[in-house]
Chain A
Amino acid sequence: MKFNKTFDRALWVFHLNTGSCNGCDIEIVAALTPRYDVERFGLKLVGSPRHADVLLMTGPVTRAMAPRVERIYRQTPEPKVVMVIGNCGCSTGVYYESYNILGPIDKFLKNIDPDVKIIYVPGCPPRPEAIIDATAKAWLVLEGLRGDA
């Protein structure tokens, strides 16, 4: 799906915790508050995945969250980008042996949608600067999807 250039400079973000320890989540909030103030780049947290361009996901996918992750991914309108914040979302990190964790987010999402666009932000937790950097990368991905319209 293509979209025009007015769209991708104001990314609306939905934050989904798929079973993280809170560390990445407080860094996301820290990125929104005055020291880092990511809203000056047009980024905004929204309350519903149906309003979002970007899904911010933190944490490995726990068994109970798996069907919800799939539902929320499908609810987000195209085109969309997934930003995986933190080591445990990228690779399950320190929790790799657990019985209740189905795996990292990318493995899970690629089963649902083979064309999923994922931006990895490793770190335990990543610094707010890294999250801002990842946002710039999300712009580039979305620019690549831009049509002629």
Chain B
Amino acid sequence: MAGKSYTLPIGPVHPALKEPTMFKLTVEGEIVTAVDVQPGINHRGIEFIGMRRNPLQVLHLAERICGICSIVHQYSFALASEKAAGITEIPERAQYIRTIMAELERVHSHLLWAGVAAHELGFDTLLHWTWQLREWVQDVLEIISGNRVNYAMYIQGGVRRDISPEVIQKLKVMIADYRAGIDQLCKAFTDDRVFRHRTMGVGVLTYKDAVETCAVGPTTRGSGVHKDVRIDQPFGGYADLDLDYCLPEKMGYENNGDTYAKTLVRLQEVVQSLDIIEFCLDNMPPGPIRWESNMTKLLQHMKKAEGEALGLNEAPRGEMIHYVKLNAGDENVSIWKVRASTYNNILAWTKMLPGCQIADVSIIAAAVDPCIGCMDRVTVVDQDTGKEKLFSNEDFYRASIRKTRAYQRKVSP
């Protein structure tokens, strides 16, 4: 049957997918030769909705882009909008609380991923165990914010809630519990022969491919690329820390970009996050937690502000960018653009999947920790003809030239 290939559609509703997306695999026998991702099913038009609301309302919309990395979306939006509005004096205590929350989320997200990865390999005991460990950090997040998933902690110029000394005690107990339990969890992943066999050499993303596809986060650090927004462009409380890139070589493995390497990166980052939280708790300065505690005044300031800014952040899945433009006199956000980390990482699938077996597709797809809710886009469809149009680089280039010409005509008649 050489040369005979089939297309295997997966999705949009499929037991292996927790979110609606669709990919088409071209298979020859058991081997995947090509992959085509067709997103757009979970597209909710959030940027459009956001441009009809004021910056304080968008904070709550931003965290509902994705239920797993809700904190970093809100953090990035807060960073971008306060930069655009010229709010620069954020109290130091607020910066530390922001950092603590972002790192607590990283712990919960990476443990969630580890459980899902174990589940994809049919290792359900490990899934239940990791998710049981994950409940500890969920408890702490609930004590701090009152909710288990969407926390509503950030606001332009600070945070909404303080962390009291009693909660700090609970956080320290949590850190001690994790330090005692995490080694055993790491061993469950690294010492298990089946896990090693199923992940070593599977879904390899080479250094070159990682750079070419602009992969971000643990996906790219697994390939040995030194890329981490917290270290490259430190912000908030990270500026006071001495962080180092989490690479697989630190756990005695090659930086070869396979699924095992990515697992090691994420397990290390859990420990790194615990270190960061501990540092922030020990060095948290006293003082106010907001630049402006009166909401009406803050909104008035945002209304008068004019400017644009980028909010960069390191989500559990990698670099995330929010672009915000505010116009003076306009209460609403004028332009809001989100580029979540999965948008980059999904390209890595096209390098990682070809050549693998069908049975490995789910673990390789899960290895980048895809979050479809974050990244979904739409295809432009002509309503009359039903024709789809995809915009290529060339189209954008031509459109750009057209716009320049139009301006030239306007400027010099």
Asked whether any CB of chain A lies closer than 8 Å to the CB of B41, the reply is: yes
Q: Determine how close the nearest CB of chain B comes to the CB of A149; give it in whole angstroms.
A: 32
Q: Which of B18, B41, B70 contacts A19 (CB 8 A)?
A: B41
Q: CB-CB < 8 A to B250: which residues of A?
A: none
Q: CB-CB < 8 A to A100: which residues of B?
A: 43-45, 378
Of A57-65, A76-84, A112-120, A139-147, the one touching chain B: A57-65
Cβ-defined contact, B131 with A19, below 8 A: no
Given contacts A22-B67, A68-B13, is CB(A27)–CB(B148) below 8 Å?
yes
Asked whether any CB of chain A lies closer than 8 Å to the CB of B20, the reply is: yes
CB-defined A-B contacts under 8 Å, sample of 20: A19-B43, A19-B44, A20-B373, A21-B67, A23-B66, A23-B70, A23-B150, A30-B138, A30-B148, A35-B131, A62-B41, A62-B42, A64-B20, A64-B40, A65-B41, A65-B42, A94-B64, A97-B52, A100-B44, A125-B148
Cβ-defined contact, A95 with B132, below 8 A: no
A57 to B127: give the CA distance in the assembly, Å.
23
Cβ-defined contact, A48 with B149, below 8 A: no
- List chain A positions with a Cβ less than 8 A from chain B: 15-27, 29-30, 33-35, 47-48, 60, 62, 64-65, 68, 72, 88, 93-95, 97-101, 124-125, 127
Asked whether any CB of chain A lies closer than 8 Å to the CB of B61, the reply is: yes
Cβ-defined contact, B128 with A33, below 8 A: yes
Q: CB-CB < 8 A to A24: which residues of B?
A: 67
Cβ-defined contact, B373 with A95, below 8 A: no
Asked whether any CB of chain A lies closer than 8 Å to the CB of B78, the reply is: no
A20 to B20: give the CA distance in the assembly, Å.
9
Q: Which of B46, B49, B135, B371 contacts A22 (CB 8 A)?
A: B371
Cβ-defined contact, B15 with A48, below 8 A: yes
Asked whether any CB of chain A lies closer than 8 Å to the CB of B185, the reply is: no
Q: CB-CB < 8 A to A19: which residues of B?
A: 20, 41-44
When C-beta atoms are compared, the residue in chain B nearest to A125 turns out to be B149
Point out which of A15, A23, A88 has the most chain B C-beta atoms below 10 A from its C-beta: A23
Compute the total of residue contacts between A and B using a CB distance below 8 Å.
121
Q: CB-CB < 8 A to A25: which residues of B?
A: 18-19, 67
A80 to B65: give the CA distance in the assembly, Å.
31
Q: Nearest 10 A-B pairs (CB), nearest first?
A: A23-B67, A47-B15, A22-B67, A33-B131, A98-B45, A64-B41, A23-B149, A100-B45, A21-B67, A34-B132
Q: Determine how close the nearest CB of chain B comes to the CB of A23; give it in whole angstroms.
A: 3
Q: CB-CB < 8 A to A124: which residues of B?
A: 64, 147, 149-150
Q: Which of B60, B112, B135, B148 contacts A127 (CB 8 A)?
A: B148
Cβ-defined contact, A101 with B45, below 8 A: yes
Cβ-defined contact, A98 with B49, below 8 A: yes
Q: Is the interface of B mostly helix, strand, loop or mixed?
A: loop
When C-beta atoms are compared, the residue in chain A nearest to B129 turns out to be A34
Q: Determine how close the nearest CB of chain A comes to the CB of B19; give it in whole angstroms.
A: 5
Q: Determine how close the nearest CB of chain A comes to the CB of B374; give it in whole angstroms.
A: 9
Cβ-defined contact, B61 with A94, below 8 A: yes
A87 to B369: give the CA distance in the assembly, Å.
26
Point out which of A22, A30, A125 has the most chain B C-beta atoms below 10 A from its C-beta: A22
Q: Determine how close the nearest CB of chain B comes to the CB of A104; give it in whole angstroms.
A: 13
Q: Within B29-67, which residues are at the interface with A (CB < 8 Å)?
A: 40-46, 48-49, 52, 60-61, 64-67
Cβ-defined contact, A21 with B148, below 8 A: no
A18 to B61: give the CA distance in the assembly, Å.
18
Q: Determine how close the nearest CB of chain A comes to the CB of B162; give it in whole angstroms.
A: 23
When C-beta atoms are compared, the residue in chain A nearest to B372 turns out to be A22
A99 to B51: give the CA distance in the assembly, Å.
13
A138 to B396: give the CA distance in the assembly, Å.
52
Asked whether any CB of chain A lies closer than 8 Å to the CB of B288, the reply is: no
Asked whether any CB of chain A lies closer than 8 Å to the CB of B333, the reply is: no
Q: CB-CB < 8 A to A94: which residues of B?
A: 49, 60-61, 64
Q: Determine how close the nearest CB of chain B comes to the CB of A98; give it in whole angstroms.
A: 4
Known: A95-B44, A95-B49, A98-B46. 20 other contacts (CB 8 A): A15-B18, A17-B42, A19-B20, A22-B67, A23-B64, A23-B66, A23-B68, A24-B67, A25-B18, A25-B19, A30-B135, A34-B128, A34-B131, A47-B15, A64-B12, A64-B41, A65-B42, A97-B49, A98-B44, A100-B43
